[in-house]
Amino acid sequence: MMPVTHYIWLSLALFSIGVLGVLFRRNAIVIFMCIELMLNAVNLLMVAFSTYLQDAAGQIFVFFIMAVAAAEVAVGLAILIIMYRNTRTTDIDVLNRLKW
Amino acid sequence: MVIGNGLLVWIPLWPLLGFVVVALLVKRLSHAQVTWIACGSVALAFTLSVILAVGQFTGGAPIKQNLYTWIQSGNFSLEFSFAADPLTAVMLLIITGVGLLIHIYSVGYMHGDDGFNKFFAYLNLFIFFMLLLVLGSNYLVMFAGWEGVGLCSYLLIGFWFKHPSYNQAANKAFIMNRIGDLGLILGVMLIAINFGTLDMATVANKAAAMDTPTLTIITFLLFVGAMGKSAQIPLFTWLPDAMAGPTPVSALIHAATMVTAGIYMIARNNVLYSLSPVTMMLVVVVGLATSIFAASIAITQNDIKKVLAYSTVSQLGLMFVALGVGAFDAGIFHMGTHAFFKALLFLAAGSVIHSLHGEQDIRKMGGLKSSLKLTHATFLIGVLAISGIPPFAGFFSKDEILVAAFDYSPWIWAGALLASWMTVFYMFRLLFLVFYGEPRQGVTRITHLHDAPQTMAIPLIILAFFSVVAGFFNLPELLGGSPWLAHQLTPLFELASRLNPPAHTEGIEEYILMSVVLLGSISLIVIAHQRYVTRKNIPAKDGQIRGLAHEMSYQKYYVDELYETMVVRPLFWVSSTTNRWIEVGGINTMVNGIGEGVVGAGKLLRRVQTGSIGYYLFIMVGGILAILAAHYWTIVN
């Protein structure tokens, strides 16, 4: 059986990729995907710990998170579509009028 | 029939109910309905007062009624309670009796005025507060009434509020009264501190054990209150200006009832006053000075109501003289007779003003004797009564004051005599100028002179009747009578008269005093007749040059101007200075400074909101990392 540390390292890597993607990419769809990546990194960690600790609670949580994430994706993509319709682009730097 | 304790509260309650009903439905009720409600409520109060007075005068014990505990704080407790004794009964009869007559008179006088309903609401409220003032068994209830009548006085002086000068007169009355009331409330506080109670009877019982300086301060402060309310030097200037109000108001509030509150209050506290001779002397001096001063102003005034107003101030001064020399019953007696004849004079003057469509200048009157027969007859009775011509009411009451003053000191007697002689002169001057001689322009311009309508005539006749007979309630023994009123009031002033035993001038001496007074009065009437009827002397027009003494008197000794420069202007100066440096310079700068600081900080900090999403995400991640780092750091340490 694989030691739990491997899972932790994998989650950490996925999460960091997500964070860096959010920070450095300008395409809203890519940022959105990076956010999903962070979410699933956490999910992976939860499942790993759940197995490691022989406790089903973690896996149940993951189901809930996936359900909520699916709903959130629907909302997020809807926003993106509206954004594209209005600006003909998905570059986040275009939407910068909400300021002082 | 003796009134039960429980009925006491109904005396002030009826006028209050009348006020509430009229005030709430002021726009809905017709004038006739208001007439019945307002007059009816006072009539009920009057009926109850008569029942109460009969009980009190036929030897009934003083009664007291506790309504509820008003204030309860530690050892100090204060009831909201009413009490009645013969002195209260006298006051109640005057307030509700004269009040009722003036209500009836007002129906005719205010006929057709837009504020008819409002006027009666105020009048009822005034009666309520006045009853509260005299019925209160402790100082705080009395004070509540005291403030209330001041409020009603203000409202009624400024009743015709569209005239700016009337509003100023109302303000003046209110502010001057406030000065006096400050003295009164301080006195009441001192009583509470020193006696531990505010119940009048308890305070009177404990007073003998109190040290004189404390009592002197207390009585002095109470007297300051009386100065304001009863228009004595130095707080008298509001009363003549108060004539801006409708004439029934002048009769009710500024002649018969409210201004006598000071007299009542001192008589009620006669024990305290008798124990502090210094204050008593001050009362005499102030009363006498006011009496002479006001009378000397009244001699040259040309406004019919102003003459009567100064006359009221002067008569109140005489009452204070009586109180100050220890003749409390004489003071109360004169207050009672004065209420009748001064109310009568005001109402008759009101009838004249009413017939002449608002003309008040006596230089424009004259010759009204034939056209206003009833008004003339009643006014004449009033003049005779106030001048102290026997057998009219004023003779007996004034004579008693003069005798008491003579016992005290011949100098005081001489001063009081001077004041009452001047009274004779200016009252007959007024009578002759208004009713005798040729009709002048104010009269001739009116084609149809009509005498008082019925609602105004009846009160005049009743008051005239009492101005004739009121003196017999207290006939001196010397003239074969028995001083009934004095006997009634004896138990109240028992302690006071034991402390200052009245040295009674009896027999031949009193006859001599009486004849001196009378001879002087009659010769003054003759002089006034010579001057104003035979020689048809009309007072000078405003621009004309007068003698120095005449000018001083006509200009009221420039007291108003003096107060203006000495008090009002400096006060305005202080106000504008503090406004500039403290209000605008200090407080405004500070408050605005805080506001501007916040706005400035906001201007700087809003630069943080760039609108760039990437930037926000950087800040967010940075923030999370900072929180994690801080967390890690705390765990490590």
Q: How far does B603 lie from chain A, in Å, by closest CA?
A: 9
Q: How high is the ipTM of this complex?
A: 0.83
Which of B38, B249, B244, B253 shows the shortest CA–CA distance to B160? B244
What integer pLDDT is reported at residue B513 of this predicted model? 83
Q: How far does B619 lie from chain A, in Å, by closest CA?
A: 10
Whole-number Å distance between alpha carbons of A83 and A89:
8
Residue carrying the six token digits 């009832």: B257
Whole-number Å distance between alpha carbons of B574 and B570:
6
Contacts of residue B628 in chain A, CB cutoff 8 Å? Answer: none
- Residue of chain A nearest B618, judged by CA positions: A23
Torsion of CA B607, B610, B611, B616, to 10 degrees: -110
Whole-number Å distance between alpha carbons of B341 and B251:
10
Taking CB atoms and an 8 Å limit, are B610 and A99 in contact across chains? yes
Profile chain B (637 residues) by mean pLDDT over runs of 10 residues: 67 93 91 92 93 85 86 86 90 93 91 89 94 92 93 92 90 92 93 90 87 91 93 90 90 90 92 90 94 92 92 94 89 91 93 88 86 91 91 87 88 92 93 88 79 87 91 72 76 75 68 87 91 81 74 83 89 92 90 94 88 87 94 91
Residues of B with CB under 8 A from a CB of A: 606-607, 609-614, 617-618, 621
Taking CB atoms and an 8 Å limit, are A26 and B609 in contact across chains? no
- In degrees, rounded to 5, the angle at the alpha carbon of residue B382 between the alpha carbons of residues B376 and B386 is 145
Neighbours of B523 (CB within 10 A): 12
Provide the 3-class DSSP secondary structure of residue A95.
coil
Taking CB atoms and an 8 Å limit, are A26 and B614 in contact across chains? yes
Taking CB atoms and an 8 Å limit, are A99 and B617 in contact across chains? no
What integer pLDDT is reported at residue B535 of this predicted model? 83
| DSSP labels, B376-410 | HHHHHHHHHHHHT-TTSHHHHHHHHHHHHHHHH-H
Q: B248, B348 in Cβ contact below 8 A?
A: no
Taking CB atoms and an 8 Å limit, are B610 and A97 in contact across chains? no
Contacts of residue A35 in chain B, CB cutoff 8 Å? Answer: none
The one-character DSSP state at B540 is P
Contacts of residue B610 in chain A, CB cutoff 8 Å? Answer: 96, 99
What's this model's pTM, rounded to 2 decimal places?
0.80
Instruction: Write out the two tokens for B70.
Output: 């008003």
Query: pLDDT digits over A37-75, tens only?
Result: 999 999 999 999 999 999 999 999 999 999 999 999 999
Whole-number Å distance between alpha carbons of B364 and B302:
9
Taking CB atoms and an 8 Å limit, are A22 and B621 in contact across chains? yes
- Residue of chain A nearest B603, judged by CA positions: A100
Q: B481, B472 in Cβ contact below 8 A?
A: yes
Taking CB atoms and an 8 Å limit, are A96 and B609 in contact across chains? no
**Which residues does B97 contact at the CB level (< 8 Å), separation at least 6?**
B46, B49
Contacts of residue B606 in chain A, CB cutoff 8 Å? Answer: 100
What integer pLDDT is reported at residue B1 of this predicted model? 41
Q: Where are the alpha helices (DSSP H) in A1-100?
A: 4-24, 28-53, 57-87
Q: Give whole-number Cα distances, B152 to A80, B174, B215, B272, in Å.
A: 74, 10, 31, 29
Residue type, B77: S
| DSSP labels, B186-215 | HHHHHHHHHHS--BHHHHHHHGGGS-HHHH
Q: How far does A97 lie from chain B, in Å, by closest CA?
A: 6
Taking CB atoms and an 8 Å limit, are B609 and A99 in contact across chains? yes
- Residue of chain B nearest A99, judged by CA positions: B611
Residue type, B15: P
Question: Residue A19 is nearest to which of B609, B610, B621, comparing CB atoms?
Answer: B621
Q: How many residues in chain B?
A: 637
Q: B431, B365 in Cβ contact below 8 A?
A: no
What integer pLDDT is reported at residue B292 of this predicted model? 94
Taking CB atoms and an 8 Å limit, are B606 and A26 in contact across chains? no
Q: Where are the alpha helices (DSSP H) in B300-371?
A: 304-324, 328-355
- Residue of chain A nearest B614, judged by CA positions: A23
Whole-number Å distance between alpha carbons of B286 and B293:
10
Verify cis geometry, omega within 30 degrees of 0, for the bond prior to B391: yes
Whole-number Å distance between alpha carbons of B82 and B66:
6
Whole-number Å distance between alpha carbons of A15 and A52:
20
What integer pLDDT is reported at residue B22 of this predicted model? 93
Query: pLDDT digits over B13-65, tens only?
Result: 999 999 999 999 988 889 999 999 999 999 999 999 999 888 888 877 888 88
* Chain A interface test: which of B613, B619, B621 (most A C-beta within 10 Å): B613
Taking CB atoms and an 8 Å limit, are A95 and B613 in contact across chains? yes
Strand partners, B72: B77
The one-character DSSP state at B60 is P
Provide the 3-class DSSP secondary structure of residue B498.
helix
Verify cis geometry, omega within 30 degrees of 0, for the bond prior to B12: no
Taking CB atoms and an 8 Å limit, are A100 and B618 in contact across chains? no
Taking CB atoms and an 8 Å limit, are B613 and A96 in contact across chains? yes
What distance separates the 2 farthest-apart alpha carbons in chain B? 119
Taking CB atoms and an 8 Å limit, are A98 and B611 in contact across chains? yes
Whole-number Å distance between alpha carbons of B193 and B208:
16
Contacts of residue B611 in chain A, CB cutoff 8 Å? Answer: 96-100
Q: How far does A1 lie from chain B, in Å, by closest CA?
A: 31
What integer pLDDT is reported at residue B481 of this predicted model? 63
Whole-number Å distance between alpha carbons of B305 and B316:
16
